[in-house]
Structure formats: structure tokens, C-alpha cells
Structure 1
Amino acid sequence: MDVQFLGGAGEIGRSAVLVDDRLLLDYGMASESPPQYPVGDVDPEAVVVSHGHLDHVGAVPALMGAGDLPPVHWTPPTRDLAVTLAEDTLKLHGSTPRCPFTETDVRRLTQASRTHGYGETFEAAGYEVTLYNAGHIPGSAHVLVDDGETRLLYTGDFHTGRQRLVEATTARPEADAVICESTYSDVTHEARESVEQQFVESIRQTVWQGGTVVVPAFAIGRTQEVMLVCAAHDVDCYLDGLGQRVTKQFKRHPEFLRDAEALRGATSGTRFVNGKAGQRHRIAAQNSVIITTSGMLNGGPVVSYVPKIRTNPTNKIAMTGYQVEGTPGRELLERGRAEFDGRVMPVSAKVESYDFSAHADRDGLLDFLGNYRESEIVLNHGDRCGAFAEELRADGYDAQAPELGDVITF
């Protein structure tokens, strides 16, 4: 089995792994400026997508050009998210060369879609493939590929810890080789219960003091997790941005949620913002909690809220996700200012960061890989894959970290 790494090798973003030039595992894009796509030309017989985040599914519609449509296999939530992200990408970049697909390609993608549940084995490009819960977001999957001689496990993104939105991964299928994400290979997450308590106490204090809290959150997964935290602690909040649509989609797939009733309750107790500028202006002036996209402050309704609350030190911006270098969110955390609408604005409001990560940390990765000491380990989806591979080799693993474009034979 020959496996080529077209993206995600030594980097986070544009994940793409090609098996024997036939089966493509993920085909994502990195939301940089300009966007970055996997390298090389591919014409797969079939595609399997691990989950519905942009860096894993964002470029899949580009595979739907003229000719036969390769079937695209995924879970039902991942299918819905893929279409949502494609439509959002077209809205942002559709009239520029930055977007490699069209509205027609997105329509063809729905025709090529084949959905599967966890534990269901199906055929794709001549391989037997099975999806297992990865505990990352609703519908996220480990992908097991079996050619009759070699069993390859592609982890996708996964989490071994507790979240309110989805159950942690417990699947450990037998595998001869494992392609494992390594996003947080040098990080230990603080206990989720402690993070939640600090977050809730902080935003309650701000509202009690008469301030407004803006909570930038990724639309897929993080928004719903924060909603569930707020609902569990009786914190009233508003919801704005793409997270509204994603929340409705998740509710249609209760079997992929840890507690569907809890999400329904959180949704009914959250006030959805209709997107009108006047309503946003009024909400920002209240002492309220506003969950809104984008999570890195590089677009979406958050760019309307932050300038309105930034001058009052009683107000607060509570970051809930990793801030990539070069984004306004990273600039705000490090320098206390950020660029909005072409203007660099100082922010006097308090800025805090909370680790609600949906990825396994170092302990989680080591716990997971402990089940595969006799397997070949390949590390991707991280900015220190080589260093982590070296650490694993020192502990007796057969581990390596490919570079972009490399081919590994199992």
C-alpha cells in the first residue's frame, strides 16, 4: 500500500492523503490569504472524508469537475457541513481565482455523496472501509482502510477527553499502520471542568458589573460546545453568525450527539440574532453574552461587535479557540489591538483565552498510540511532527513524519 501526503504533512491545514493513487482521504484547504490547497493533481476513484472542518473537506468540491464523479463517503453530519462550507467559500471567494470550484461543482458533490454510520463497512475504490467515532465534532471519524493485506488507520482529528457535544473516542480498531494527527503533541490541556468553571465565573462577573461579553467561536463544534456550557450554568446568551445554521444541522442528527436533548434545550434558551446591523448595535450596548463567528476575528459578525465594545474596560472578549499566527485574534491576544475594516484598533476591553480544544493533547495522543506499539506510526496534522516522531522512536515506536509530497509504502 503506497500512501502519498498531499497536504497536512508537517502543517495544520489542507489535509489530503492519497492511497495507491486511487483512494483519497480528506481534501481540505487552509484558510490563509490566499487560501492554500493540497499539492499535485489527483483523479481518485473514490474519496473518504473524516469530518466537516474546512482543513479536511474544504477543497472536495474541486474534485467534481467534468467527467465521472468519484463517490464521496462520509457521515451524514459531515455531508451537511461540507455543503455549508462550500457555499460559504463561494460567498467569500467565488468571484476570484482563489476558489477552485463553482456552484455546479457543489451541486455535483451532493450527487456523489454516500453517507454511512459508525461501524458500517463499505467498499470504496476496491478497499473495505469502516468509520469509527473520533470524538472531535459530530460526525467526525477515524477511517480504517483494508486492502486484504494491510489495515491502515487514518485517525483524522480526534479527542479522547470529555466534551458536552460529542462522546470521546473509544474506538481502537486493529491496524498495521496508523496515520495520526499530532496537533497538540507538546500540550497538556487543563481539565475541562476547570476551564468551564473559570469561563462561566468570568462572564458572569462581567455581566454583573454591567459589561458585554463577546465570545468568538468557530461555527462548527465550538459554538455548540459553548452554548451547552452556558445552558448548563444558566447563562443567557445570544448567537450570531454561521453557527446558527450549523446548530440546526446538528439537531437533525441526534445519533451523532452526546446528548441531543441538551442541545435542543440550549438552542431554545439562546436568542438568535437576525443579522441586521441595528439589532447588533443594540445587543452590543446591553450587558449580555454574545457567541459569534468567526473564532479568529477574521470575518463574520464578530467584526461588528468588537469595535463597538472595545473602548470599555468593563467589557470582555473571551476567546475559545486556537489563534493562528497572523490572524486578528492572535494580534489581539499578543498586542491588545486588532485590525477591523482596514483599521488597527486598540482594545481596552479585557481579553481572555479559554482552552475548549476538541483535539487530543499529548497525554491523549500517547494513550491512543499505546494501543499501536506494534504498528507503523506516521504523524501528520501538526507543526512539530518530526519532533514528536523522534520522541516516539525514543520510546520504542516505529514512527516517522513525512514531508509534503512524500510517499510511504506499508
Structure 2
Amino acid sequence: MDIRFLGGAGEVGRSAILVNDRLLLDYGTKSGTPPQFPGDADPDAVVASHGHLDHVGVIPSLLSGDARPSIHWTPPTREFALTLARDTLKLHGGTTRCPFTETDVQRVTQVSRTHGYRESFEAAGHEVTFYNAGHIPGSAHVLVDDGETRLLYTGDFHTEDQQLVSATTARPDADVVICESTYSDVERGDRSATADRFVESVERTLWDGGTVVIPAFAIGRTQEMLLLCERHDISCYVDGMGKRITEMLIHHPEFLRDADAFRRAKSHARFVTGRDGQRKRIAEQNTAVITTSGMLHGGPAMTYVPAVRSHPTNKITLTGHQVEGTPGRELYETGSAVIDGRSMRVSAQVEQYDFSAHADRAGLLEFLEDYADARVLVDHGDRCEAFAAELREDGFDATAPALGDRIAL
């Protein structure tokens, strides 16, 4: 087996791995100004691990010209990827930030093939099987067998149950493991304790008469927050792309930890239409608002944050990692941020909670315990080489490929 790292090696973003020059695993975007894309590829088939922008963001570009590779994913991943592609077109269509066209996105629907977990299928001459990765609905570990070597591409995964999805439990036999390492230096502690602190903080603000703005990623985090609010009977609205994703997931109950609880959460929340100044009126209510974007890049949060910023009774609760240089990171560290081109001082309380859908260091090591005899290739992280060195000290055959590396197995 031959593997080329076209993206995602030594970095978080633009994941892309080419197997035997024929099968492409993921093809994502690295956010930034300008965004960065993986190396060129002309595969016979594409397999997507899950529907986040850094893993599926530029898949439509593979269908420009005469190329028509088949695309394989779970049903939720297909839905998420198409939604993200259309959103990218809306934001950046016709610019260098968007390397594909509406026609390319339409072609994706023509070559798409969906598969459930543990249902083996053929792609570019390889046997491929998806296993639940516990990251977001439809996320998958990808097992690739070319008849000689069994490769397990972990994708992004979590070893602890979330409100929305169950933890990964699958450990299929593999000769080689390409393992993500996003939080290889983080010991997160008990997730339920984080949820309890979050709920207590939100309830305290509502009791005091304030408004809570909860910036959240549209795919996964918004729905996690909805479930927490329903479970604790917290009045809430939901706004932004998360509304569409929530509607989609109602149709894929088999990819949820508790489909009944999810339906109750959806019914519990009020969905914002955004018409006739509705957002400004909501911001004056004694309620919680779950809204994109998670790092305050844009979206309805650009209305809510300025609306609540002046009163210290109000609160902004960041629910995910804030990348350096983003308005969310600036707000958390300095108490001010550039919102819609204006520098704003925020008197409202600002808090951050780690609801990450990635395994932490303990989770990564727990997962890899079952692969002590396999070769481990560490990717998708800011300290891949350091983590690989630590694994070698523990007796693993581990390395951290560099961007563009070709490895023969």
C-alpha cells in the first residue's frame, strides 16, 4: 500500500490522504485568509470520514472538468457536505476563496453513494468499511483493505459519550493506523462536570434577568447545546445554519445517541426566522440564544453579541475551541473584539467551556492501546511529531508524516 499526505499532516485543516494513487480519504479546507486547500488529486473514488469543513470542504472541486470519481460517505455526512458547499458558494462564489462552482456541487449529488456503519463496500478497487467514530452524527473511522494491507483512518473521533452521539467503541483489526492528534496534550476531565458548570452558569444569568448568547458550531455543537437546554428546561432559541442541520438530523435517527431526546430538544427550542428585527427583540429577552458562528466569524452572532454587550448581567458562553486570531479568541482574552468591522468593548460576562467532540490525550492513548502491534501515523494536530515521539517511548512504531510525504507500507 502507498499513502500520500496531501493535507492535514502536521496541521489541523485540509485533511486529504491518497491511497494507492486511486482512493482519496477526505478533501477539506484549512480556514484562514486566504483559505488553504490540499494538494492536487485525481482519484477514482473519494471516501469522506465526516461532514466538517476541514474534511469535506473542497470535495466538489474534484468534479470539475471531466473527472467523475464516486464519493462515498454516510447519509448525514452527505447532507452536511452539500450544505457546507452551498454555504461556501453563497459566501465566496466567484472568488479565489471558492475553488468550485454550482455545477460541481450538482455533480456531487450524481456520483454520491451512501453507506451505513459496518457495511463493507468497494471503492477504487479497495474494500472499505465505516465504523462509528463518536465525533458528530455520521462520523466514521474508515477501514481500507487493498488485499495486502489493512489501513484504519481514524478521522476525528471521541471516546466519551456526548449528548448527541455515542462514543466510538469499534476497534477493527488493522496493520496501519492514521490517527488524529488534535488534543494530544490536553487532559480534559469529566465531560458531565463541564456540562453541569455550563448549565449552572446559564441558569444563574437567566435568574438574574440576563440574556445568554451561546455561539456554537452549526454541525454537532448546536445540537449538543439544544439537548442540554431541553434536559434542564432552559428556555432557548436557535439561529443560523444550526437550524438546517437540526432539521436534517431528525431524518437520520439511527445516527443519534437518543433520537427521542433529540426530537424533544427540537420541539423545546424556538427557531429564529430573522425577520422584522426579531433578533434584536430576542436579545432583550430573558432567554438563551444558540447561534452561529462558533468563533464569532460571522452569522447571526454578529447581531446578538453587539445587542447584549453593554450590560454585565448578560453573558456570552463560548462552547468550542477559539482559534488564535479569531474574534472569539480575542473576546475571551481581552474583553473586546472586532465585530463586523467595528472594535467593541464587551461589558457582558464572557466564559468558555470545552465541549470538544475530539478525544483528549487519555482518549487517544486508550484508543491506540488496541493497536500496539500496528504502525501508527500521526496526523491532524499541531504537535504531531511530539506525540509520535511520545508514542515511540511507549513502544509504538509511530511517526508523523510531513505534508507531501509518500509512504510505502
TM range (shorter): over 0.9
How far residue 236 of structure 1 moved from its aligned partner, in angstroms, is 1.1
Give the structure 2 partner of residue 203 of structure 1. Answer: 202
Give the structure 2 partner of residue 24 of structure 1. Answer: 24
* Aligned-partner SS, 1:153: strand
Paired residues for 1:293-332 under 5 Å: 293-332=292-331
Letter in 2 for 1:36: Q
Structure-1 separation of matches of 2:280 and 2:160: 38
Paired residues for 1:196-235 under 5 Å: 196-235=195-234
Mapped contact 2:182–2:358 kept (Cα < 8 A): yes
Structure-1 separation of matches of 2:90 and 2:34: 15
Structure-2 separation of matches of 1:322 and 1:366: 21
Letter in 2 for 1:402: P
Give the structure 1 partner of residue 128 of structure 2. Answer: 129
Give the structure 2 partner of residue 44 of structure 1. Answer: 43
How far residue 191 of structure 1 moved from its aligned partner, in angstroms, is 0.9
- For the pair 1:119 / 2:118, whether they are aligned, the reply is yes
Q: Percent identity?
A: 68
Letter in 1 for 2:68: L
Q: How many residues matched?
A: 409
Give the structure 2 partner of residue 270 of structure 1. Answer: 269
Partner deviation per Cα, 1:216-258 (whole Å, 9 max, x = no partner): 0000000000100111111110000000000011111001111
- For the pair 1:102 / 2:124, whether they are aligned, the reply is no
| Structure 1 residues 138 and 292: CA distance shift in structure 2, 3 A | same
Give the structure 1 partner of residue 156 of structure 2. Answer: 157
Mapped contact 2:42–2:67 kept (Cα < 8 A): no
Mapped contact 1:190–1:355 kept (Cα < 8 A): no
| Structure 1 residues 36 and 277: CA distance shift in structure 2, 3 A | farther
Structure-1 separation of matches of 2:30 and 2:396: 30
* Aligned-partner SS, 1:69: coil
* Aligned-partner SS, 1:371: helix
* Aligned-partner SS, 1:252: coil
Partner deviation per Cα, 1:344-369 (whole Å, 9 max, x = no partner): 11111100011111000000000000
Letter in 2 for 1:167: S
Structure-2 separation of matches of 1:371 and 1:249: 35
Partner deviation per Cα, 1:30-56 (whole Å, 9 max, x = no partner): 1211111102x2100000000000000
Give the structure 2 partner of residue 380 of structure 1. Answer: 379
Partner deviation per Cα, 1:135-183 (whole Å, 9 max, x = no partner): 0000000000001110000000000001011111000000000000000
How far residue 340 of structure 1 moved from its aligned partner, in angstroms, is 1.1
Mapped contact 1:241–1:275 kept (Cα < 8 A): no
How far residue 287 of structure 1 moved from its aligned partner, in angstroms, is 1.4
Structure-1 separation of matches of 2:257 and 2:114: 20
Structure-1 separation of matches of 2:226 and 2:52: 19
Partner deviation per Cα, 1:4-62 (whole Å, 9 max, x = no partner): 111111110100001111100000001211111102x2100000000000000000000
Structure-1 separation of matches of 2:348 and 2:13: 31
* Aligned-partner SS, 2:182: coil
Structure-1 separation of matches of 2:186 and 2:355: 13
Structure-2 separation of matches of 1:341 and 1:248: 28
How far residue 67 of structure 1 moved from its aligned partner, in angstroms, is 1.3
Letter in 1 for 2:247: K
| Structure 1 residues 277 and 155: CA distance shift in structure 2, 3 A | farther
Structure-2 separation of matches of 1:68 and 1:240: 37
Give the structure 1 partner of residue 12 of structure 2. Answer: 12
TM-score (norm 1): 0.99
Structure-1 separation of matches of 2:334 and 2:366: 36
How far residue 190 of structure 1 moved from its aligned partner, in angstroms, is 2.5
Structure-1 separation of matches of 2:378 and 2:96: 32
How far residue 188 of structure 1 moved from its aligned partner, in angstroms, is 1.1
Give the structure 2 partner of residue 3 of structure 1. Answer: 3
Structure-1 separation of matches of 2:340 and 2:116: 43
Give the structure 2 partner of residue 363 of structure 1. Answer: 362
Structure-1 separation of matches of 2:94 and 2:103: 14
Mapped contact 1:295–1:319 kept (Cα < 8 A): yes
Q: Any stretches of 5+ residues in structure 1 without a counterpart?
A: none
Letter in 1 for 2:163: R
Paired residues for 1:70-85 under 5 Å: 70-85=69-84
Mapped contact 1:48–1:73 kept (Cα < 8 A): yes
TM-score (norm 2): 0.99
Q: What value does the CA root-mean-square deviation take over the aligned residues?
A: 0.7
| Structure 1 residues 11 and 38: CA distance shift in structure 2, 3 A | same
How far residue 277 of structure 1 moved from its aligned partner, in angstroms, is 5.4
Partner deviation per Cα, 1:364-398 (whole Å, 9 max, x = no partner): 00000000000000000000000000000011000
- For the pair 1:53 / 2:27, whether they are aligned, the reply is no
Give the structure 2 partner of residue 186 of structure 1. Answer: 185
Structure-2 separation of matches of 1:81 and 1:31: 17
Mapped contact 2:298–2:340 kept (Cα < 8 A): no
Q: Any stretches of 5+ residues in structure 2 without a counterpart?
A: none
Mapped contact 1:27–1:57 kept (Cα < 8 A): yes
Give the structure 2 partner of residue 62 of structure 1. Answer: 61
Letter in 2 for 1:386: E
Letter in 2 for 1:103: E
Letter in 2 for 1:382: G
* Aligned-partner SS, 1:339: strand
How far residue 2 of structure 1 moved from its aligned partner, in angstroms, is 1.0
Structure-1 separation of matches of 2:100 and 2:134: 30
Partner deviation per Cα, 1:92-146 (whole Å, 9 max, x = no partner): 1003121000000000000010000000111100000000000000000000000
Give the structure 2 partner of residue 344 of structure 1. Answer: 343
Letter in 1 for 2:53: L
How far residue 68 of structure 1 moved from its aligned partner, in angstroms, is 3.9
